[in-house]
Amino acid sequence: MWRIAVPVTFALLVASCGAAPTQTAPTARGTTPQVIATATATATITLSPSPTPAAAVIEMGDNFFDPAQLTVKVGTTVTWKVVGQSTHDLAARDGSFVNNTMAFGQTFSFTFAKAGRYAYVCTQHEGDGMTGEVTVIE
Ligand SMILES: [Cu+2]
């Protein structure tokens, strides 16, 4: 009488990770040989942190920010870009960042290192409603 036990634990995605399955040689015991084969392999896949820093763009039209409300994570670099024909500028209400007048195609970037809410305006067109806010979360 043959009794074959073949417990196999096998993870997919293991083909190239180099973990060699183990296999015990068959042992004969009297008239009841047993063949026990075990293959145990584990694969650990670690995703490395994204090498690309987070970034976002806010367009500066005539006379509005698009998007006017933006939520980003700490460490994100936000770039404002003038897409309108008028000149525009930026000033955070808390003074976190400020830039001079920019013309079409010019940009200004700021990296948000701390969580919080950063309201800002275009000082030339604040009266026309050209205001925005970046919310920075952990
Ligand atoms: Cu403006």
Domains of the chain in sequence order: 1-46 (no CATH), 55-137 (2.60.40.420)
CA of 44 to the centre of ligand 1 (A): 52
Surrounding ion ligand 1 within 5 Å at CB are 63, 88, 122, 124-125, 130
User: Is the model's pLDDT at 14 over the cut of 80?
Assistant: no
Tens of pLDDT, residues 66-113: 999 999 999 999 999 999 999 999 999 999 999 999 999 999 999 999
CA of 130 to the centre of ligand 1 (A): 6
User: Is the model's pLDDT at 22 over the cut of 50?
Assistant: no
Confidence grade of residue 32 (pLDDT, cut at 50, 70, 90): low
CA of 117 to the centre of ligand 1 (A): 21
Contacts 24+ apart (CB under 8 A), 91-96: 91/120, 91/121, 91/122, 91/123, 92/118, 92/119, 92/120, 93/118, 93/119, 93/120, 93/121, 94/118, 94/119
